[in-house]
Amino acid sequence: MNSVLLLGIVGSTAYGLAGPHSDVDRLGVYAAPTRAFHGLHLPIDRDASVVEHEPADLTRHEARKFCLLALSANPTVTELLWLPGHEIRTPLGAELIGIRRAFLCAARVRDAYLGYAEQQFTRLLNKGADRRTAKHARHLLRLLHQGEQLYATGELTVTLADPQRYHDFGVAVAADPAPARVALDQARQRFSTIETALPERPDEAAVEAWLLRVRAEHLES
């Protein structure tokens, strides 16, 4: 039986950008029984994630998969560790939050947040006048802001201080995508000049020590 270690609400609701028709997205970390990894049939599928859409959107990553994503500075996975509150937080989940800076390094944070922002730009261009264009623009600006904050300070504030700024940006970009390209270019320039608070490499020893504690505590179902 899988055990959820940490679970929280992420996405637009966490950022303060949700509207009346926005989905509520939940993200979690679970541990599969350690003993089951040594039998004929693995307890997890090949990508070690469980995704559900009913009754609500819920994604859970097995502990090792979560660690690998966090070490790559995946923005959605990273934000789970910086939420102001969680719906489920076990002692091992609290330990995971306690080592959240161990996952970070300068180059991966810079490349991941800029890369995901670039993906949002590509999506909004492909949407044309689609109503989701404004959403992609909002998340582009949010990724740039949060990426710069994390890169400069080593800290991440998930809830945005001025949500209206992002809504206004979305409306502007829906009418003309040029401001989105300008925002990307300016962010790349700032990243090249910011003095980062992050190390050159993540602390993989601390991450692995946590994962081994998970395996030891979840030997049986």
pLDDT in tens, 94-103: 999 999 999 9
Helices (H), the chain: 12-15, 63-71, 75-80, 91-98, 106-127, 133-153, 163-175, 178-193, 204-217
Does domain 3-104+202-217 fall into CATH 3.30.460?
yes
pLDDT, tens digit, for every residue of 180-192?
Answer: 999 999 999 999 9
pLDDT at 110: 98
pLDDT, tens digit, for every residue of 25-76?
Answer: 999 999 988 887 877 777 665 558 888 887 778 999 999 999 999 999 999 9
Decide if 32 contacts 215 (C-beta within 8 A). Answer: no
**3-class DSSP state of 8:** strand
Decide if 1 contacts 36 (C-beta within 8 A). Answer: no
Across 189-212, average pLDDT: 97
Across 5-34, average pLDDT: 93
Residue with tokens 């076990």: 90
pLDDT at 47: 56
Q: Where are the domains of the chain?
A: 3-104+202-217, 106-193
State the pairing for strand pair 25-31/57-62: parallel
Cβ neighbours of residue 54 closer than 8 Å, sequence gap 6 or more: none
pLDDT at 129: 64
- Averaged confidence pLDDT in the chain: 92
pLDDT category, 144, cuts 50, 70, 90?
very high
pLDDT at 43: 64
Alpha carbon 187 to chain centroid, angstroms: 19
**pLDDT at residue 221 is higher than 80:** no
Across 82-105, average pLDDT: 98
pLDDT at 1: 58
